[in-house]
A and B are shown apart, each in its own frame.
Chain A
Amino acid sequence: DAMVIQNPRYQVTQFGKPVTLSCSQTLNHNVMYWYQQKSSQAPKLLFHYYDKDFNNEADTPDNFQSRRPNTSFCFLDIRSPGLGDAAMYLCATSRDGGNQYFGPGTRLLVL
């Protein structure tokens, strides 16, 4: 089945230690999104790639970066995680900004 895959499902890191979350998709969608979702809140868009064009949300901290080496893969890099960055991170894809298909998420814990 075509899908959006996120690895790992759970990630534990230390305060200030860089961490990378991974997303891959077999849908061949040209748009990929990263969301942050904290407990009992709606997902918050961090940034998205429309093809190779990177679109950062105005309020996304500089601590968060992203890479998209090819159509199928997209990475979320957190350069110096703080305690406030503990959250569920959701990857989504779409075709030309249409319906978004979500992965299962990676839950990040910062110690």
Chain B
Amino acid sequence: AQSVTQLDSHVSVSEGTPVLLRCNYSSSYSPSLFWYVQHPNKGLQLLLKYTSAATLVKGINGFEAEFKKSETSFHLTKPSAHMSDAAEYFCVVRLVAGNNRKLIWGLGTSLAVNP
């Protein structure tokens, strides 16, 4: 069975400091993994995705994530947080079963950025 666990429900950082949002996954085969961001009262935006190519994936807004198979992790990082990064972040794994492709969502991590 495939699942995803976001290890922190809430992360708070100061502006200009690094961001680390942790995600572990469980998959019986090579997964497709995603990070989505949701700003307050807005829809979901794809930040980045891993689909068995390069293990270090660069996304939008300076975010990147590294796929580590040995640790079954896909942590999201950013070197320097900006106030506009404050949002909810979801780690997602894609389930593929025949023609059925659906997303398995983590519970989300709320990122607060303090001035």
A→B interface (CB under 8 Å): 4, 31, 40-43, 45, 48, 50, 55, 90, 92, 94, 96-105, 107
Residue of A nearest to B36 (CB): A102
Number of interface residues of B (CB under 8 A): 22
Most buried by B among A42, A90, A105, A107: A42
B→A interface (CB under 8 Å): 34, 36, 41-46, 49, 90, 94, 96, 99-103, 105-108, 110
Chain B binding site: helix, strand, loop or mixed by DSSP?
strand
Which of B41, B99, B103 is close to A45, meaning CB atoms less than 8 Å apart? B103
Q: Provide a sorted-by-A list of 12 A–B residue pairs whose CB atoms are within 8 angstroms.
A: A42-B105, A43-B105, A45-B103, A50-B100, A90-B44, A97-B96, A99-B46, A99-B49, A100-B103, A102-B43, A103-B43, A105-B42
